[in-house]
Chain A
Amino acid sequence: MAVTEQDAARALRTALSRGGEWAELFWERHNVVTLTLDDNKLEDAITGVDQGAGIRVTVGDRGVYANGNVNDGDDLLAIAGRAAAAIADDGGVREVTAISADELPRPSTVAIDPRTVPIERKVELMKLANERARAFDPRVHQVTVLYRESVQDIVVANSEGRFRKDRRTRLVFGVLVTAKQGDVLESGYKAKAGTEGFEMLTDAVVLETTGTAARLAVQNVAAEPAPAGTYTVVLSSEAGGTLIHESVGHGLEADLNLKGMSVYSGRLGQKVASDLITVLDDGTDPGKRGTQAMDDEGTQTHRTVLIENGILKTYLSDKKHARKLGIAESGNGRRESFRHLPICRMTTTMIAPGTSDPAAILASVKDGIFVKGMGGGQVDVVSGNFAFEITECYRIRDGKQAEPLRGATLVGQGPTLMSEIDMVGSDLGYSVGTCGKDGQGAPVADAQPTLRIPSVVVGGKVMAQA
């Protein structure tokens, strides 16, 4: 089915038929193809479609959300009826403003819809990755290649008359390489992901992704364990932006700031980072994994300056929290699917480049850790304490990159760390990920320049005293 303006108007009227002040319809049809090549075999081939809708009705701060799979107009009305029954508000029937469709520009260009590409071509790229990874080094022991294409068509309509459609095309090409040396197993993972069409997956991109994964696995299997303790750390722009995502980004989500749940609560206009730090969230950055024309409430995405030269400017908002905090709607109300209510989420979050020469930043450190790859992270927004995984790092000796280290993690507290960063490079590097919050996954990207942190706790192995 395709939801029309008439379907939406009828569903919204039903949703508000037993009271309620405001209603919204979110409908989606999500087509997914996932292919997995493992142990030299194209082992799993999955295709599917999930179609459903969620209807929200609110009264003041209270909301009802009914959702389910939808195949026709009757299913949609049944969900609207369930929402209406649950709101149980005696405020009388509200009018629905006449629905009128408008269209937003799409920041990412999809030249080739992946659904039109023969599946054999996708398999061919995966086999290419498998062969090259295995040829990289005799210690390469196992290779897993993942291809995932997702095309999500959505409609958002609400009782204020909004009716907007969007299509999000998302591709992921991931390579996981396992290397073995003696009894030691290590893995290296690299993914290419974005919101462009199949044109983003060229042979060259596949080979680069594969080369990185294979190099990391082989390097890690021979690397020494990282030392535990407090060190000066240089984060290369190549590492991408997990740091900014965990240490600052989550703490700036408006829903966590409404009731003082973040270390950044109540600090608008205050100094929360060093003068060198400017932080942005940009839902319009073409082709990036977090990019989309609008969020899942139909609000157009923005390039939002969150921290400017150390001063906190605003939070990442959805409609409800923008209203409650009296800030602009930033287009950051996102949801994993029709099964979830939107929550405040990042899109593509970054520290803006500064003025220092990246090579000079490395050269300035006599003894420290040079981080060139970051993996997953997590933050406790109430205390600001965060941790993130390091997937590639080296010892710095006399301003130069020295031996590789494995099994490291970085921990710290967001505002403290952001106040201590004392050099910001003129470069910028991106990374991709899937962010988890309140049980919902969201595709995101992060970016940062090369940074110097004078003193931060590194997790690893306690070395014997000299």
Chain B
Amino acid sequence: MSEKLANEAVVDRAVASIRGLRVDGGEVFLRDGQSTSIEVRDGEVENVITRGERGIGLRVLRAGHVGFAYSSDLSPDGIEECVTSARDIAAVTEPDPDVSIATRTIESPDLNLYEQGIDGRSVTERTSVALAVERAARNVDARISGFRKTTYSDGTITTIVATTADVRGTYRETYFSIGTSAVATADEDRQIGYHGEAKRQFAAIDPEAVGRRSAELAVGKLGAQTFKTQSLPIVLDPYMGMALLGALVPLFSADSVIKGKSLFAGKLGEQVASDRVTIIDDARMPGALRTAPFDGEGVATTTRTLVDTGILRGYLSSLKTSKKMVQAPTGNARRGSYATPSRIGAANFHLAPGAPTPDALINGLDRALRISSLLNLHTIDPISGEFSLGATGDYLEKGERRYPVRGITIAGNLTTLLASITGVANDLVFGASGLGSPTFVISELSIGGA
């Protein structure tokens, strides 16, 4: 049997091992996560899944070269091998004088990310949450005929970052999530609606609300009609809004800006959106899903206004890009897992709410299309900003829903879209992706159809 090291000991050993090499420095990232998922379908438990994951990812710096290696073998030999691999592969990279490791001491303030008691929760208790989601969906409408899958998950994650410059930070977090896809049936017409949410506390997830929205989405698409090709104002509710806002994040990446792959390059201080638009990235919001005390490089996170009433005020930066731009690092080098290096990303990225209620906003529109689902969001090109998406929606007249529509496309460019946001409501919601959005209105988009 090989020796089993505790997390802190693994990190100590990796840091010591890097120090033992003739290199300029290094960074050690450890993630240890345990999770449980219950998959239910139509009232029956299908699967109970328990996952364990523990590994390290290392960066080793030598004369501007940087190598990255990861391993799930955390025995003393496995750690040694990982360190050697990182050093060896560094040789093939080209030196970059701006590559560095964190040197500034970090703190781990309590950001309300961890809840005690996950381990003691029984499978029965977890299952009952998933069953409650399905029950709530069925209560919405008799036409709810089944579910593709309903899932409850919870988990705990421990993250440690340490550098050879004596930076070290640790935090623990928990999450609880539920999601379902309800199917509504009327004669030959079958429609699905997905909804899910994720929170840091068990009591914060709301099976009733998730079931209800999923069912309402499915039922709402029944009897949809084709729609003529035309341009119309578009209404996005918070969930559809955050789906589109997510595509904006890469435009703020300092790495893309430096490499000329962002439409926001060279636009600091300029108008990039309508004056209704204020975009905030807040990594310190207590208890929020993407809140963290420090990022994947061990740099303290921040709260920033990226767009202030339409004016571009900042980019998202890592240690390297902040050096290149001669700016303070913003703590946006995020880690997807121990096996991938830090990539620039957002924390709790959101569109700030406006003053009117959603109803007041929509009632002022003579004719509009409210989007109810989008297909192909992953194909939005962050470089050109172009999007052309499959969609379903509700046709509205003076805020009243006339009929649902199907088989349409919406298309445009993200920069035009930002400039065309003519109204933002007061109903800000944060979703399971960590993004936040209120209801908002785009003055006009191209709709492809019959």
Contacts and interface: CB of A to CB of B under 8 A. Distances in A.
B261 A142 contact: yes
A305 to B, nearest CB: 26
Interface string A153-190: 00000000000000000000000001010011111000
Contacts of B89: 33, 45-47, 119
Say what secondary structure dominates the interface of chain B.
Answer: strand
Interface string A60-71: 011111111101
Nearest to A52: B72
Say what secondary structure dominates the interface of chain A.
Answer: strand
B85 A411 contact: no
B288 to A, nearest CB: 22
Interface stretch (B197-205, B236-244, B350-358, B381-389): B381-389
A387 to B, nearest CB: 3
Interface string B399-422: 000000011111110000000000
B53 A383 contact: no
Contacts of B390: 378, 385-387, 409, 411, 459
B195 interface: no
Contacts of B389: 387, 409, 459
Contacts of A46: 68-70, 89, 340-341
Interface string A69-83: 101101000010011
**Interface range on chain A (Cβ under 8 Å from partner):** 35 or more
A123 B384 contact: no
B190 A382 contact: yes
B146 A119 contact: no
Contacts of B363: none
Interface stretch (B44-52, B273-281, B432-440): B44-52
A341 B39 CA distance: 11
A123 B92 contact: yes
A71 B48 contact: no
A74 B1 contact: yes
Contact of A460 (B55, B57, B149, B446): B446
Contacts of B272: none
B289 interface: no
Contacts of B229: 228-230, 462
A348 interface: no
A67 B69 contact: no
Nearest to A86: B48
Given A42-B93, A43-B93, A228-B409, A339 B53 contact: yes
Interface string B90-114: 1011101000000000000000000
Nearest to A183: B263
A403 B181 CA distance: 42
Given A380-B373, A409-B409, A411-B375, A460 B388 contact: yes
B92 A69 contact: no
A174 to B, nearest CB: 14
B260 A376 contact: no
A65 B45 CA distance: 13
A458 interface: yes
B376 interface: yes
Nearest to A51: B72
Most chain B Cβ neighbours within 10 Å, of A41, A67, A71: A71
B73 A376 contact: no
A56 B330 CA distance: 44
B67 A50 contact: no
Contacts of B263: 183, 185
Contacts of A225: 411
Contacts of B230: 462
B383 A50 contact: no
Interface stretch (A93-101, A256-264, A273-281, A352-360): A256-264
Interface in A378-399: 378-380, 382-383, 385-389
A229 B448 contact: yes
B54 interface: yes
Contacts of A180: 260
A238 interface: no
B54 A69 contact: yes
A249 to B, nearest CB: 15
Contact of A385 (B57, B261, B407): B407
Contacts, number: 264
A412 B226 CA distance: 11
Given A51-B72, A259-B42, A376-B378, A382 B384 contact: no
A129 interface: no
A375 interface: yes
B447 A228 contact: yes
Contact of A339 (B51, B86, B409): B51
A312 interface: no
Contacts of A377: 376, 379
Nearest to B146: A259
Contacts of B1: 72, 74
A185 B96 contact: no
A267 interface: no
B48 A64 contact: yes
Given A51-B72, A67-B50, A376-B379, A142 B42 contact: no
A44 interface: yes
Contacts of A43: 93-94, 96
A455 to B, nearest CB: 9
Contacts of B373: 380
B372 to A, nearest CB: 12
Nearest to A87: B48
A413 interface: yes
A220 interface: yes
A228 B449 CA distance: 7
Most chain B Cβ neighbours within 10 Å, of A44, A48, A458: A48
Interface string A104-133: 000000000000000110010000000000
B410 A459 contact: yes
B192 interface: yes
A366 interface: no
B148 interface: yes
A21 B261 CA distance: 55
B411 A409 contact: yes
Nearest to B42: A259
Contacts of B93: 41-45
Given A65-B47, A376-B378, A49 B72 contact: yes
A178 B383 contact: yes
A406 interface: yes
B13 to A, nearest CB: 15
Interface of B: 1-2, 41-42, 44-55, 57, 66-75, 78, 82, 85-86, 89-90, 92-94, 96, 123, 145-146, 148-149, 183, 190-192, 221, 229-231, 258-261, 263, 339-341, 373, 375-379, 381, 383-386, 388-390, 392, 406-412, 446-450
9 contacts: A41-B94, A48-B82, A50-B55, A119-B92, A187-B384, A228-B448, A378-B375, A383-B221, A460-B411
Given A228-B411, A229-B448, A382-B192, 12 more contacts: A46-B340, A48-B70, A48-B85, A63-B46, A65-B47, A65-B49, A71-B2, A119-B92, A186-B381, A378-B376, A383-B190, A407-B386
Interface of A: 32-33, 35, 38-39, 41-52, 61-69, 71-72, 74, 79, 82-83, 86, 88, 119-120, 123, 141-142, 178, 180, 183-187, 220, 225-226, 228-230, 256, 259-261, 263, 339, 341, 375-380, 382-383, 385-389, 406-409, 411-413, 436, 438, 457-462
